[in-house]
Amino acid sequence: MIKVAILHSTLRKEEKLISGAARGRGIPIRLIDIRQTILAPGSPALECDVALERSVSTVKGFYAAAAFEARGIPVVNPSATARICGDKFLTSLRLQEAGVPVPRFLMVFDREQARAAVETLGGFPVVVKPPQGSWGRLLARINDQDALDAVLEHKQVLGTPPQKAFYIQEYMEKPGYDIRAFMAGDEVLCAIARESDHWITNTALG
Amino acid sequence: MALEIRENPPSGICPVCEARVPAPSDIEESEILHCPDCETMLVVDSVSAGRIELSEAPELEEDWGE
């Protein structure tokens, strides 16, 4: 019988549902809290036939996936996928490469470049985002040059190194909601309309 | 009349207010519970013989996401 490991940090309802469904089918499940696991090459703690990477922590989950892959264990999702999906610029590049329409975007590394970038995107407003991050954190709609200068100065002075890569998108108006759809291949599994008067519509923000 | 024996569900003690915190029978380590009295978010450190050890859940970290 194939042995499945669930790599997790905080154990959420989703992980409980997955493990419960597996056990209901008689599939051996190991719950591995990666925060308490030494990710050493060859460690017996990393033994299983396949691993589901379910950590809430993007960084910890990425390294845990890489550690299991180094032992020849397939991980869902693999670290290469996590690396792309965990970075907005890399994701945008891959989507564009695949022919998926995306808002115009670019990346710059200083404020003078950012001023020129705004012209490239058609002028204000634009949206500045950290390349890495989730749940709608640290997004900024920039309406004018003063705001652009202030936000980027704060990022340059106070930010961690990833914050000093300025991912900028054109601003897109929405009709009071946006749609998040989950797909597997060409099939839409489910979708949610997220309503908000605010320009940010992340579920985590209500 | 048959005697029905019921096991008490697992429980622990809130580290903040010392209230009893009940848990579902399938509670696992690393799960999150809320104290029914002070509503502190707690994490299960261990489960053993019907008792759960609890500590305050970690704060949201910068790289958390889904």
Q: Does ipTM exceed 0.85?
A: no
Please check whether residue B58 touches A, CB under 8 A: yes
**CB contact residues (below 8 A), chain A span 107-136, against chain B:** 132-135
pLDDT of A68 reads 94
Q: Which two tokens stand for residue A57?
A: 């922590």
Determine the residue of chain B that is closest to A17 in CA distance: B26
Q: Do A11 and B57 touch (CB under 8 A)?
A: no
pLDDT in tens, A33-80: 999 999 988 787 778 999 999 999 999 999 999 999 999 999 999 999
For position A198, what pLDDT does the model report? 86
Taking residues A156-164, report their average pLDDT.
87
Phi and psi angles of residue A37, each rounded to the nearest 5 degrees, phi first:
-120, 130
Mean pLDDT of A191-205: 84
Number of Cα atoms under 13 Å in the Cβ half of residue A126: 30
| Helical pair A111-120 and A145-158, crossing angle rounded to 10 deg | 140
> Residues A102-144: pLDDT tens digits?
999 999 999 999 999 999 999 999 999 999 988 778 899 999 9
Backbone φ and ψ of A118, nearest 5°: -60, -40
Residue A17 has pLDDT above 90, yes or no: yes
How much is the pLDDT for B3? Answer: 59
Contacts 24+ apart (CB under 8 A), A147-152: A148/A111, A148/A114, A148/A115, A148/A118, A148/A124, A149/A111, A152/A111, A152/A114, A152/A128
3-state secondary structure of A13: helix
Whether the pLDDT of residue A169 is over 60: the answer is yes
Mutate to test the interface with B, among A30, A87, A134, A139 (most CBs of B within 10 A): A134
Give the pLDDT score at B1: 56
Mean pLDDT of chain A: 92
DSSP, collapsed to helix, strand or coil, labels residue A8 as strand
- For residue B43, the model assigns a pLDDT of 94
When pLDDT is cut at 50, 70 and 90, the band that residue A14 belongs to is very high
Set of chain B residues whose Cβ sits within 8 Å of the Cβ of A7: none
* Phi, psi for residue B61 in degrees, rounded to 5: -105, 160
With a pLDDT cut of 70, the percent of chain A lying above it is: 99
The tens digit of pLDDT for each residue in B4-63 reads 555 678 999 999 999 999 999 989 999 999 999 999 999 999 999 889 999 999 887 767
User: Is B59 an interface residue toward A (CB < 8 Å)?
Assistant: no
